[in-house]
Structure formats: C-alpha cells, structure tokens
Amino acid sequence: MSWLSRHLIAVVVVCVAAASVGAVFAFARPTYHPTTDKRVEMQGQRHYSVAEVKRAFAAHGIVFRHASRSGTAARGLTVLGDVKPGTRDDAFTVTLFGPESTVWFGPAAPQGYDARLGNLVVYYGWTNRAFLAKVKAAVADLKR
C-alpha cells in the first residue's frame, strides 16, 4: 500500500485548507476606500461671532441656554445648545470654530439637518418640523 493511500484523508484536508486560504487571499482581500473627510482651514472661511449667531436664531424664537468652550479663542471651538448637554433633547447644536483652527469634516449626518457655513456647523437631529423650519430660516439669515 502506498503512502498516499494510507494518508488519503489527511492529504485531502491539507489540500482543502490550502485551497481555502488561497480563495480568501484571491477574493476577500481588502480594497482601498478613499476618505470622505475634508480638511478646512478656518482662516479662509467667513467668520460668524457668537453674538451674531445668537441674534440670528433669536429672531426665529430659538434661544441658546448653554454654551461650552474648548481650547483658545483662536484655535478652539464653542458649542451652543438650546438645552443642557446630555439631556434627552440635546439634538440641536451650533458649533463655532476659532479663526486659526483646522477642522476635518466627515460626511454629513445620515439623519437630521446638518449645515456648514463659514466657521460654524448647525446640526438638528430630531423630527420636529416646526423647529427645523426655524433652524433653516436662521441659517438662511446667516447666509445673507
């Protein structure tokens, strides 16, 4: 009896394993996906002040009750919200970036309203249409 006939099952298992590994390398290899992030230098952008933003939204009945700041005035950011962060209804924020900031923006949020103009980003992630209309109107006023 030959060696191959005595070890037939082991040889078949090794061949199947080698073919499986080859198939993985041939068909399931990773592919390149270009990034959708966008780098924006705030120095070249229109700059809105916190007071300007508050006025535009107040004209449509939206009052910012909370603000948080991070970093320096030139390179940091300010986040405005109509409710205290961390509460159930904190899906509305306006973020203002400092004039010397460099910001990486990813793709727009898959749900909700996400607008970027100049040094600010406006996000509203809930479904109250009346509130969303006010947000869009305030953004339109800022664009003028």
**CB neighbours of residue 78 within 10 Å:** 20
Please check the confidence at residue 126 and state whether its pLDDT lies above 70.
Answer: yes
Distances (CA, A) of 97 to 47, 71, 79, 84: 9, 10, 9, 20
Average pLDDT score over the chain: 84
Q: Which region among 9-18, 48-57, 81-90 has the lowest average model confidence (pLDDT)?
A: 81-90
Please check the confidence at residue 8 and state whether its pLDDT lies above 90.
Answer: no
More confident residue, 13 or 25: 13
pTM: 0.69
| Whether the Cβ atoms of residue 106 and residue 121 lie closer than 8 Å to each other | no
**CB neighbours of residue 10 within 10 Å:** 10
Provide the phi-psi class of 9: left if phi over 0, else alpha when psi is between -120 and 50, else beta: alpha
Q: Read off the tokens for 93.
A: 């924020």
Q: How confident is the model at residue 34 (pLDDT cuts 50, 70, 90)?
A: low
pLDDT at 103: 87
Q: Give residue-wise pLDDT tens across range 69-106.
A: 888 878 889 999 887 655 666 588 899 999 998 888 87
| Residue matched to tokens 């249409």 | 129
